[in-house]
Structure 1
Amino acid sequence: MPRFFSNKRLIILLVGVIILVALIGFSLRDRERVTLPEQLIKDAAGVGQEVFSKPAGFVSGMIGQADLLLDSYAENKRLKARLADYAAIRSEVAALRTENEELRKVIGKQESLRAYNPIQATVIGRNPDQWEDRLILDKGANAGIAENMAVMTADGLIGKVTLVTPLTATVELLTSAGTDYRVSALVQSGSGEIHGLIEGYDAERGELLLKRIPSEFDIQPGQQVISSGLGGIFPKGLVIGEITEVTTDEFALTKMAYVKPAAEFPMLDHVMIADRIAPEIEPVELRPESGEAAE
């Protein structure tokens, strides 16, 4: 026993433990007031928590906002991609609808050709320097196309084939500036058919010139101009355009009319070439004249 109490360190430790337990038990009791040391400890702990919790909460909030912004950016990017795909699909659908309508018109126009075998083709080339003069088609001699065949759209006549290769064909348009390019045309009026020639193009007005109309005939704006079929190249009855103005030539001997083309020359895509079918000639049965013996 004496050796036990002689150990001062052990005695101090035991006393400290007893005091600590007493303080814990004292602090756990329900009390209306706390002691000054407790107040100091609680205030220090509160201040420490506030000092550390606010920056931690701010940083946590910033990280959350950054994650939200990143998610919003990624979602916005996905939506934009879907919108771009949707716009591309809408554009493709609109183009297909337009192409389908054009092809339907072309197919419906075949019945009016009668003595011509229609060959469908697509425009694949157009020189910017000769935009109003020529275009290139994706079919040529291998498809049965030859020079001087008439070319048209569902809206009306546009020109004729002037050059052919095995796989392509070059078309000279009615708007060509060529001085020797003429198309026999007519205007249907109450007095009958009035003939003239499509000869020339007014680039400023964007209209064809119908010339050599006899001065005694009366033609009016609004009347339709069609191909006459007399030249042997263009079928009769193909729409060329509509008269917008009537004047006289420089010598006042014949009339001239401005014709607005029925076809949209700047927007040519699908066309049709008229392959003329040679008329069949019925064989004539030769009968022997009287007095000659039949073989």
Structure 2
Amino acid sequence: MPQFFFNKRLILLLISIILLVALIGFSIKGDRKITWPEQFVKDSTGVFQNIFHRPSQYFAGFFENMNEIKNTYEENKYLKSRLDQYAQLDSDLQDVKDENNKLREELGRQDSLRSYKPTPAVVIARNPDKWFEYITINKGSQAGIQQDSAVITSKGLVGKVKSVDQFTSTVQLLSAKDRKNLISAIVQGKDRKGSKVYGLIEGYDSKRKKLLLRHIGSDMKIEKGQDVVTSGTGGVFPKGLTIGKVSEVQPDSYGLTKMAYVEPSADFYDLENVSVAKRDVSTADAEALGKGDDNQ
């Protein structure tokens, strides 16, 4: 008797498995019509999904919004602290400007080595063989562009105008392999002795992708991370144009001066929009001021 019941259960299990497989195969047929029980179950499931979907979405969105509000509060708190610092810096800068204007009035001089008129331009041509040497912009003599004018982007100095045509100009980049491509520069801040650190941007290391700041006095102390800007004493570029940051300092081959590798602020590889900086102060005046600075 127990053997019979055991066989009966086994037979029922096998029949159930066969029916289940048959139903699965029948349900996955793509060309068959859905029966009314299946349609009823499907519609009922859809209704319940629609009913519970909206509240679940609401609660999920509520907690997400709460998290965003918390993050916004933290960001707002941080920005307020930065804004207070900015307000103080803006106030200090305005005081410096007012004092500078008063000193100029007393000296009877309105020109400044920092003064320049920017002319926006677009890069329209670039030779793949000289990608890091020259670019062509869509402004020329008709737009008042002059030879040797500084060319900048929002990030910093990229080069100078090499030649000018009526409607276009050729710009020589700081990364060009030209020993005559010299720029008078200054390391912002003073060394430990309180002296300004001057040098010349002279050359570009294509392997390191760094500018070379040469002719730095061997007794001058400069550090990694200091900003390098144009000095304004070369008679060509306005003062204070960003060039880059000091990344490494080492003595030259003779040990008489130092050389620094400068990480450029501007991206020489990707250039689209630039500005040509035409100096307001005359070259003669700039050279005179430069001699006066050198004598100091």
- Output the CA distance in 2 between the equivalents of 1:172 and 1:193: 28
**Distance in 1, Cα, partners of 2:208 & 2:169:** 29
Query: Shift of residue 113 of structure 1?
Result: 8.6
Q: Is the 8 A contact 2:159 2:173 kept in 1?
A: yes
Distance 1:249 1:174 in 2: 21
Letter aligned with residue 218 of structure 1: K
- Residues 113 and 263 from structure 1, CA distance in 2 versus in 1: closer, same or farther, beyond 3 angstroms? farther
**C-alpha spacing 1:186/1:278, structure 2 compared with 1 (3 Å):** closer
**For the Cα contact (< 8 Å) 2:113–2:281, is it kept in 1?**
no
Q: Does residue 239 in structure 1 map to residue 273 in structure 2?
A: no
- C-alpha offsets along residues 16-38 of structure 1, whole Å, 9 cap, x if unaligned? xxxxxxxxxxxxxxxxxxxxxxx
Alpha-carbon displacement from aligned partner over 1:105-147 (angstroms, at most 9, x marks no partner): xxxxxxx995211110000111111111100001111111011
Q: Partner residue of 1:156?
A: 156
Q: Which runs of 5+ in 2 are unaligned?
A: 1-30, 33-111, 283-296
**What is aligned with 1:267?**
270
Amino acid at match of 1:173: L
2:114·2:240 contact (CA, 8 Å) conserved in 1?
A: no
Q: Which amino acid aligns with 1:179?
A: R
Give the 3-state SS of the residue equivalent to 1:217 in structure 2: coil
Matches within 5 A, 1:246-265: 246-265=249-268
Q: CA deviation at 1:232?
A: 1.2
For residues 56-108 of structure 1, give each alpha carbon's deviation from its aligned partner in whole angstroms, at most 9, with x where no partner exists. Answer: xxxxx69xxxxxxxxxxxxxxxxxxxxxxxxxxxxxxxxxxxxxxxxxxxxxx
How far 1:278 moved relative to its partner? 4.2
1:204 aligns with 2:212: no
Q: Letter of the 2:157 partner, please give it.
A: L
1-side partners of 2:210 and 2:281: how far apart? 33
Q: Distance in 2 between matches of 1:151 and 1:273?
A: 5
The answer on whether the counterparts of 1:229 and 1:236 sit within 8 Å (CA) in structure 2 is: yes
Q: Which residue of the partner structure matches residue 118 of structure 1?
A: 118
Residues of 1 paired with 2:133 and 2:120: CA distance?
A: 20
Q: Aligned runs of 1:1-295 on 2, under 5 Å?
A: 115-190=115-190, 191-278=194-281
The aligned amino acid for 1:237 is: G
- Counterpart residue identity of residue 150, structure 1: A
TM-score normalised according to structure 2 size = 0.55
Q: Give the secondary structure class of the aligned counterpart of 2:269.
A: helix
Question: Is the CA contact (8 Å cut-off) linking 1:113 and 1:274 kept in structure 2?
Answer: no
**Which residue does 1:71 correspond to in 2?**
none
* CA spacing shift, 1:247–1:181, aligned 2, 3 Å: same
Residue pair 1:209, 1:257 contacting (<8 A) in 2 also? yes
Identity of aligned residues (%): 48
1:214-265: per-residue Cα shift (whole Å, max 9, x none)? 0000011111100000111111001100011000110010000000000011
Q: Distance in 1 between matches of 2:240 and 2:228?
A: 9
> Relative to structure 1, is the Cα distance of residues 278 and 238 closer, same or farther in structure 2, using a 3 angstrom cutoff?
closer
Distance in 1, matches of 2:262 and 2:280, equals 30
Q: Which residue of 1 aligns with 2:12?
A: none
Q: Distance in 1 between matches of 2:256 and 2:184?
A: 19
Bigger Rg, which one = 1
Q: Which 4+ runs in 1 deviate beyond 6 A?
A: none
CA distance in 2, matches of 1:125, 1:231: 29
AA matched with 1:205? R
What is the TM-score normalised by the length of structure 1? Answer: 0.56
In structure 1, distance between residues paired with 2:203 and 2:184: 12
In the TM superposition, residue 192 of structure 1 has moved relative to its aligned partner by 3.7
State the alpha-carbon separation in 2 of the partners of residues 270 and 225 from structure 1. 22
Q: Which residue of 2 aligns with 1:11?
A: none
Gaps in structure 1 of 5+ consecutive residues = 1-60, 63-111, 280-295
